[in-house]
Structure 1
Amino acid sequence: MTSTSAPTDPRPLLERAVAQVAALIEAVPAERLGGPTPCAEFDVRALLGHLVTGLQDGAQLGETGAVERSKVPTDVADDGWGRAYGAARARMTAAWADDATLERPVTVEWGTFPGAVFLTSGMVLESVTHAWDLSQALGHPLPLDQELAELALGWAQRFLPADRRGDEVPFGPVRPAPEGADAYTRLAAWLGREVA
């Protein structure tokens, strides 16, 4: 499966992506929470908060079609990030369980799209990208799903072309990836991460 178009039902891909993130979160030792990530604006703790908030916002879109940004959780214990992410994941799954949500328009800051397109270009792409960030920050504790990264790279190239950076697009210029780099490294470079 290498098409860059949104799948008819992206929920199985989303489940794979969030399951991968959940496994990485379980691998975070408390002493690494203050450590840096390749996403310069986040240390590990802030990235975990961003991931939880992203699922909460995605769930809100599934529930209502619009979102009022969730507050990043500030009361999660060092050993509670897995539970916080699990609760947000369960809410997200429930919010998108009805097939009708895939066709229903959702409105986000970059436009209005059918739910299936949002899940693909928003939630799956975000989860896969931040899985790489978290894996890098933790020293690669688990193998990553390369097929997900190939799909996400295709979507990123389609929805976030190289000439569409800056202003309200929160990605830096495309960076070079080393020859023979895996799909995650190429995705990270496409989204402006330093991968060398």
Structure 2
Amino acid sequence: MIHVLTLTYLQPRETVTAHLPEHKAWLRDHSDRGRILLSGPRPDGGAVIVTADLDEATVRELIESDPWHKLGIASYDRVAFEGKNASPGVVTAAVPDDSVLLINVATTEDAPATVDALAGAVEHVAATADGFRGSRLLTSVDGDAVINLAAWTDEKRFNAIFDDPGFTGRYQEFAKTVTGAKYRLYRTSRVISPNR
């Protein structure tokens, strides 16, 4: 389950600020371990943390290890939900799993045509393929390259799309719009969060 943790300050702002370095170090440690996906202050006071896909015991341990919790500086409220959909590039698993991220880089002289053709292939996959988690199409600032970031549950399901004539026909149309294209599959090796 993904957990949205809402922190409410129980101490004056000066106390919160005085213990901010320890809290930031805790945030960074758990972000680097893949447990925390997002965190930040709320405009009205307090803060919000969004966790990766964690079990109950891990979330309890996470909360109890926060210096702000230990010192009684902040209380935690929690809402959990099943994270079924995520933007490509967002990895919700706290530990490495079988998921893969496709990065397909295509050079082109007509970026809009390339995006349209690639979108047709990806939309077909979105409607038909098991294991597809989503895609993001990017165009270079110079307009000479298009990148597809696509998330998959595993390599086997990704490879299965090449057995689908509906996909391969659309991919061939995409290939006609490019001067070169190359894809690779990647797995998360390490996460490094901002040190600020």
| TM-score, normalised via structure 1 length | 0.22
Report the TM-score when normalising by structure 2. 0.22
Rg comparison, structure with higher value: 2
Q: Which structure has the highest helix share of the two?
A: 1
